[in-house]
Amino acid sequence: MRLSQSFIPTMRQDPGEAEVVSHRLMLRAGMIRKVAAGIYSYLPLGLRVLRKIETIVREEMNRAGAQELLLPILSPAELWKETDRWDFYGKELFRLQDRHERDFCLGPTHEEVVTDLFRREVRSYRQLPVTLYQIQTKFRDEIRPRFGIMRGREFIMKDAYSFDQDEEGAKRSYQGMYNAYCRIFTRMGLQFRPVEADTGLIGGISSHEFMVLANTGEELIVFAPDTQYAANVERAEIAPPAISEREAKKPLEKVATPNAKSVEEVCAFLDVSPCRLVKTLLYQTENDAMTAVLIRGDHQANEIKIQRYLGIHELTLATPEMISRFTTAPIGFVGPIGLPKVRILADHAVAALSNFIVGGNEPDMHLVHVNIDRDFTIDAIGDFRQAQAGDLSPRGGSPLQTARGIEVGHVFMLGTKYSEKMGATYLDAQGQTHPAIMGCYGIGVSRAAAAAIEQNHDEKGICWPMPIAPFHAQILPVTSSDEVRKTSDQIYTNLYQNGIEVLLDDREERGGVKFNDADLIGIPFHVIVGDKGLAQNTIEIKDRKTGEKFHVPREQVCEWITDIVKKRLESQP
């Protein structure tokens, strides 16, 4: 491709709208342009990267035995009503009506559509197992689209669905996809980590997320460095604290704490550490009931864990108005003692405390030297808080550490959640009817491109890993002599014939402009052709990522580049 004839509009200045590195660099390198909030066009350079990622994904999905199909973007409300997700998915679902006022939505994921297909076509266990996948545009009306294509309202996803006869088969299918995902992200040249995850809106039994490690990632993960354990904080279990010797119980005491509402204020006022304080969080659950959850002052509640324990899908913190109606204390002074009859849950870390501090259930009052059982009773002890660095891993080993990641893949063991609701069944060898056991598996293709940039860039621009780079090499004629032009053209033609994807910067620009644009676009090798080098019959080759420079005799340049590109492409699992 000749740059003079291609549509790669680079920008010198940072666009004002871009916050994160990948967003900024994708705009500047001419890969994407915004159409509306969270909606982007992919320009030729951006599309080439997507295609590279898609190709790797396809190859590995096919290798794992999955078959590609293409489901519609638009799907009828009826299917979504069968699984209750028409209501449950909420505002994130893009809904629309046709001219007859029939309800439709733009697919955010395709469990319903694929399960519908399955139940129409599959009758017998002889047709199982089967895994189907597609690569397609998805729609989610995100509460706040941001970070360019990282969290858009329209994005490209590979989604796969497996159907099995039994648990064992389902586990094999799951493991097959898990392994394929590891290969895919390794082949893409990304540093990643699979972590245990929550199942969220998709539901199901268990799941793993694939996180590209990057400090700018939206997700927080915890891991034990000396074991395999790693999990999203939403999910991460915490081992109960070792039982230490209890302090002698001191007499309960009421103290005035004027205007001290927050943990920090109370601790500052009483001059104690937040780990001596217990927060009483009042939650409203699905059936309008109240539940109090006790969490240590230096910890954070994990609503997903609380929901899972209570077996409910909706959990909201009580509003200040509700609190003042329900209790005798304003917000900030709620405590478990003297609370109207509610269920009280206590986190493990709270249960291990003696002589702690709670809200006094009256304005400007707290209680100190509080002890469970003596002063009030609780209904359950459990793991209700968010993991943080230093907590104990549930699988033993050293304390947990935290890292940030970008979720680029997610695999779910679904079980029969969809097949039962939708009647997706098969007949076994005995003629018995069973619901198929399902799994579903997503990869954010467009997000993976952004994640790759977050992980591979420097102050000048992108540094693409070879397997997903839009081109393998870029030729920069940096002076304008006939000799330089002729040599550049020759190298271009030869590399092209060798099957190397090569970009030739034949624009009439000065060297500096070409160098800077090349660094910005980030193609792995730059072939710098100038009179200086030609005088010694050499050509300079620069490795974009390391900055390493090689002076290669002119006759050997094509061979040199071809060899190194092939080598880099082959560094696969």
Partner RNA sequence: CGGGGCGUAGCGCAGCCCGGUAGCGCGCCUGCUUUGGGAGCAGGAUGUCGGAGGUUCAAAUCCUCUCGCCCCGACCA
Residues that bind RNA (CB under 7 A): 10-17, 19, 34, 36-38, 143-147, 261-264, 266, 279-283, 295, 297, 299-303, 316-320, 323, 331-334, 359, 386, 460, 478-480, 510-513, 515-520, 528-534, 540, 542
Least CB distance from residue 227 to RNA, whole Å? 26
Least CB distance from residue 549 to RNA, whole Å? 8
Least CB distance from residue 448 to RNA, whole Å? 20
Residue with smaller CB distance to RNA, 64 or 301: 301
Residue with smaller CB distance to RNA, 493 or 536: 536
For residue 152, the SS3 value is coil
Least CB distance from residue 224 to RNA, whole Å? 23
Q: Are 549 and 541 in contact (CB under 8 A)?
A: yes
DSSP 332-343: T---STT--S-E
Least CB distance from residue 263 to RNA, whole Å? 4
DSSP 513-569: HHHHHHHHHT-SEEEEE-HHHHHTTEEEEEETTT--EEEEEGGGHHHHHHHHHHHHH
Spatial distance between the Cα atoms of 286 and 316, rounded to a whole number of angstroms: 9
Spatial distance between the Cα atoms of 155 and 145, rounded to a whole number of angstroms: 11
Residue with smaller CB distance to RNA, 423 or 553: 553
Residue with smaller CB distance to RNA, 283 or 464: 283
Place of tokens 């006759």: 555
Closest CA to 222 of 204, 199, 241, 197: 197
Residue with smaller CB distance to RNA, 175 or 481: 481
Give the chain's largest Cα–Cα span.
94
Residue with smaller CB distance to RNA, 430 or 537: 537
Residue with smaller CB distance to RNA, 12 or 341: 12
Structural tokens at position 133: 């996948």
Least CB distance from residue 352 to RNA, whole Å? 18
Least CB distance from residue 31 to RNA, whole Å? 15
Q: Are 107 and 113 in contact (CB under 8 A)?
A: yes
Least CB distance from residue 523 to RNA, whole Å? 13
Least CB distance from residue 36 to RNA, whole Å? 4
Residue with smaller CB distance to RNA, 36 or 69: 36
User: Residue 43: enclosing H or E segment and its boundaries?
Assistant: none
For residue 278, the SS3 value is strand
Q: Which residues contact 230 (CB under 8 A, 6 or more apart)?
A: 193, 194, 195, 196, 221, 222, 223, 224
DSSP 333-372: ---STT--S-EEEEEHHHHT-SSEEEE-SSTTEEEEEE-B
Residue with smaller CB distance to RNA, 27 or 53: 27
Nearest 5 degrees, angle CA 225-CA 405-CA 384? Answer: 70
Q: Are 285 and 310 in contact (CB under 8 A)?
A: yes
